Amino acid sequence: MLATGTHQMLDLLQRSCEEVFPMALGHAPIAEGDPVGAMEGDTRAALITLVGEFGRVQLGLATSERGSREIAGHLLGMEADDPELVPDNIEDAIGELMNILAGHVKQLDASLLQAAELGLPLVVEGHIKPTPHQELLAQPARIDNTDLHLVVLVEKRPA
């Protein structure tokens, strides 16, 4: 049975963050409240798609412009205001972090490991909204002083 339900995927993404963040960023994520079914306002987000016979699932990490700079700084071992953290490097870093998280999601679930292909990470800015054929679930969280959301967008299954 593939673990591709919205809550199951969010749980896997949270577990991936809990294991990857301390190693990659030097800080553990802290969940802030309950998952939400919609995102408010604009964000900068790294998204990656898992695709297989089960359909398509998008996993994401959404934060502010400042938050993406802080996360990139943690990943690259730099201060958030380091002049080398130009926009291209920040996008590259949070995209790579999403790639690592999604790869680890596959490692955490044997059925996904076999059935899911990983796409390339994409960094977008704006309001994350599901299409009419998707369901969104997002977990508000914090890492160090940075607020972020762990996001999953799952294709709805026909009734």
Partner 1 sequence: MKILIVDDSKAMRMIVKRTLRQAGFGDASVSEAADGKQGLEAIRANQPDLVLCDWNMPEMSGMELLQALRAEGNAVHFGFVTSEGTAEMRSLASQASAAFLIAKPFTPETFAEALSGVVG
Shortest CA distance to 31 belongs to which of 42, 17, 19?
17
Say whether residue 159 binds partner 1 (CB under 8 A): no
Residue 102's alpha-carbon distances to 79, 80, 83, 124, 144, in angstroms, are: 25, 24, 29, 17, 21
- For the record, the structure tokens of 91 come out as 């996008």
Q: Could you say whether residue 83 binds partner 1 (CB under 8 A)?
A: no
Residue type, 117: E
Stretch that binds partner 1, among 27-35, 55-63, 68-76, 147-155 (CB under 8 A): 68-76
According to the binding rule CB under 8 A, does residue 103 interact with partner 1?
Answer: yes
User: With binding defined as CB under 8 A, does residue 72 bind partner 1?
Assistant: yes
Selected from 18, 92, 144, 147, the binder of partner 1 by CB under 8 A is 92
Residue 31's DSSP bridge partners are 141
Beta carbon nearer to partner 1, 28 or 113 = 113
